Amino acid sequence: MAPHPIFAKQAQKAKGFCTALLAITALVATTHAALAAPRHAPAPAPATAPSFTAEQADHGAQIYAGTCAMCHGAALEGAHDMPPLRGLFVARWANTPLNKLYAYITHAMPLMAPGTLPPQDNIDIMAFLLRENGTEPGHTPLPADENRLAQMVFPAPNALPPVKAAPPGKAPRTR
């Protein structure tokens, strides 16, 4: 006896669904295996300390005062709902390549008009932030080239207290 047409149609749909599910499972397994395989990418170039000039930082201070201070505070202390650009800011960006900070500033700031500052102003604001967070100016300008910025990292904070090892089950303590 032939199956009822409704049941035959449902069986055909179920068969198609199972085939699609098997294909997706195979694709996921292949992708997972490819991602889990060791990659032999070249080692990244060693990061260098950022270099900027006092003139860049001074110009960055002027741009900051007119564009950023209304939200982040005149002394980088934060204002309204905007975070300070000291302390936790430094800890979050520490050891991050400067091209990432540059991209963030370029595309997200100023908040009400993102992407409106010229590239050199963004670089100079970064120089200002570096100086205000303890990096000494040098003789070489901070470059506007993102590939060169990728080779420099935001310095880690020196002022954070060291963390003592904690016994299992307890939070670490600072000195």
| Digit-coded pLDDT (tens) for 104-149 | 999 999 999 999 999 999 999 999 999 999 999 999 999 999 999 9
Predicted pLDDT of residue 79? 85
Q: Low-confidence residues of the chain, pLDDT below 50?
A: 21-22, 26-38, 40-41, 43, 159-164, 172, 174-175
Predicted pLDDT of residue 80? 80
**What DSSP string describes 34-103?**
HHHS---PPPPPPPB----BHHHHHHHHHHHHHHTHHHH-TTS--BTTBPPSSTHHHHHHTT-BHHHHHH
Specify which residues 153 forms β-bridges with.
Answer: 97
For the chain, the domains span 54-149
The secondary structure of the chain in percent helix, strand, coil, rounded to multiples of 5, reads: 50, 5, 45
Q: CA triplet 100, 135, 174: central angle to 5 degrees?
A: 90
Per the listing, tokens 């089950």 go with: 169
Please say whether the structural domain 54-149 has been given the CATH code 1.10.760.10. yes
Predicted pLDDT of residue 38? 46
Predicted pLDDT of residue 167? 57
Specify which residues 50 forms β-bridges with.
Answer: none
What single DSSP character describes residue 84? P
Predicted pLDDT of residue 72? 95
CB 144 within 8 A of CB 123: yes
User: How far does CA 160 lie from the centroid of its chain?
Assistant: 21
Predicted pLDDT of residue 6? 63
Predicted pLDDT of residue 139? 96
Find the largest Cα–Cα distance for the chain. 91
